[in-house]
Chains A and B, each alone.
Chain A
Amino acid sequence: MAPRRSAELLSAALAGSADVTELPIRLLRACSDELPVTGVGLALMTERGPAGTIAATDRAAAELEDLQFTLGEGPCVDASQSGRPVLQPDLAATAPQRWPAFAGGALAAGVRAVFALPLRVGAIRLGVLDLYRDTPGILSAGELAEALSYSDAATLLLLHLQAGSSLAGAPWESIPVLDDRAEVHQATGVVSVHAGVSLGEALLLLRARAFAEHRAIGDLARAVLDGMVDFRPGGESG
Chain B
Amino acid sequence: MAREQRLTEVFVELADTLVEEFDLVEFLQTLTERCVELVDTDAAGLMLDDQRGALQVVAYTDESARLLELFELQKAEGPCLDCFASGGAITNVDLTDAASRWPVFAEAARGVGFTVSHALPLRLRQQVVGALNLFTVAPVRLADDHLAVVQGLADIATIGLLHERAVRDQVILAEQLQTALHSRIVIEQAKGVLSAENGSSVGEAFRVMRSHARRTGEPLTAVAEAVVGRELGAAGLLRGRQTADVPARES
Contact = CB atoms under 8 A, between A and B. Distances in A.
A123 B2 CA distance: 42
Contacts of B65: 183, 222
Nearest to A88: B171
Contacts of B171: 87-89, 138
Interface residues of B, number: 38
B85 interface: no
B215 interface: no
A138 B51 contact: no
Nearest to A6: B52
A138 B170 contact: yes
A138 B173 CA distance: 12
Contact of A145 (B52, B182, B189, B194): B52
Interface in A179-194: 180-183, 185-194
B contacts with A: majority SS: helix
Contacts of A24: none
Given A138-B170, A138-B171, A148-B51, A186 B192 contact: yes
A144 interface: yes
A89 to B, nearest CB: 6
Interface in A143-195: 144-145, 148-149, 152, 180-183, 185-194
A193 B182 contact: no
Nearest to B185: A122
B33 interface: no
Given A122-B185, A145-B52, A148-B52, A189 B174 contact: no
Contact of B52 (A122, A152, A193): A152
Contact of B189 (A87, A141, A144, A186): A186
A118 B68 contact: no
Say which size band chain A's interface belongs to. 35 or more
A83 interface: yes
Interface string A116-135: 01101111100000000000
Contacts of B194: 189
A208 interface: no
A122 B175 contact: no
Contacts of B91: none
Nearest to B194: A189
Interface string A94-125: 00000000000000000000000110111110
Given A5-B52, A222-B65, A121 B185 contact: yes
A85 B177 CA distance: 10
Interface string B102-126: 0000000000000000000000000
Contacts of B210: none
Contacts of A199: 189, 193, 228
Given A122-B186, A138-B171, A1 B76 contact: yes
Contacts of B185: 120-123, 185
Contacts of A144: 51, 170, 174
A127 to B, nearest CB: 14
A87 B72 CA distance: 29
Contact of B195 (A1, A89, A120, A186): A186
A193 B196 contact: yes
6 contacts: A85-B174, A122-B186, A122-B187, A123-B190, A182-B57, A189-B191
Interface of A: 1, 5, 83-89, 117-118, 120-124, 138-139, 141, 144-145, 148-149, 152, 180-183, 185-194, 199, 218, 222, 225
